[in-house]
Amino acid sequence: MRCMNQHQGEAPSQMAPGPIVALIRHGQTEWSASGRHTGRTDIPLTAAGEAQAEAIADVIDASAFDTVLVSPMQRAQRTAVLAGLENFHVVQDLQEWDYGDFEGLTSPEIRERVPGWTIWGGPWSAGETAEDVGARADRVIERVLGGQPGSKVGLVGHGHFSRALAARWVGAPVAAGAWLALDTAAVCELGWEHGNRTLRRWNVVAGMRMAG
């Protein structure tokens, strides 16, 4: 990865006891732009979302990845292609949180029905629970950890699920994802320090400059 491959003078691929993961959220859709919960509704990127996806190539080096895993949703697959990650495997477990009865609604609309509601604390009406999502995230992580130490893995998916996966990467409960805001077309790096799994970079978007 271009601007995300050095940290305090060390090359993560040489220091890591396991794979380095680039966690990539898809570009903007009509629903993400308006704050509507988009789980299993398969809608395309907007024109702005396509431009965002293309700009991901300024944040990563697509040629550096050993493996790329992508959600089955078209918004994720299109993002991968536009970012230069065309040789990918579709993984069902990378789908977004299934919002059930709250699909297509904004948070304020849901809170009119359920005061104080959040996706992290529920309730989850006819959708996935935090435990369900955590189990999927753990399966993805187990698959990633089967790779060679220092290898580069790309995961292209969705906002809430990526936040849940990052929480589980560091051994935290899914609800810790509430603290990990994630923009469309953002890139994160899940890596290692002293043998521990860490969040090395978070919510990097094209044009952002980061030290290190």
In which band, very low, low, confident or very high, does the pLDDT at 5 lie, cut at 50, 70 and 90?
Answer: very low
Q: Is residue 212 part of a domain?
A: no
Q: Are 28 and 49 in contact (CB under 8 A)?
A: yes
Is 96 catalytic? The answer is: yes
Q: Choose among 182, 175, 174: nearest CA to 156.
A: 182
Q: What is the pLDDT of residues 47-72, one digit of tens each?
A: 999 999 999 999 999 999 999 999 99
pLDDT score for 107: 97
Residues in contact with 123: Cβ distance below 8 Å, sequence separation at least 6, in sequence order: 114, 117
Candidate list 37, 50, 86, 96, residue with the active-site label = 96
Is 26 catalytic? The answer is: yes
Q: What is the pLDDT of residues 92-128, one digit of tens each?
A: 999 999 999 999 999 999 999 999 999 999 999 999 9
Q: Is residue 30 part of a domain?
A: yes
Which CATH number covers residue 23? Answer: 3.40.50.1240
Number of domains in the chain: 1
Q: Residue 55's domain spans which residues?
A: 12-204
Q: What is the pLDDT of residues 158-181, one digit of tens each?
A: 999 999 999 999 999 999 999 999
pLDDT score for 9: 42
Candidate list 26, 37, 158, 160, residue with the active-site label = 26
Structure tokens that stand for 110 in this block = 């849901």
Q: Is residue 3 part of a domain?
A: no
* Between 3 and 165, the higher pLDDT residue: 165
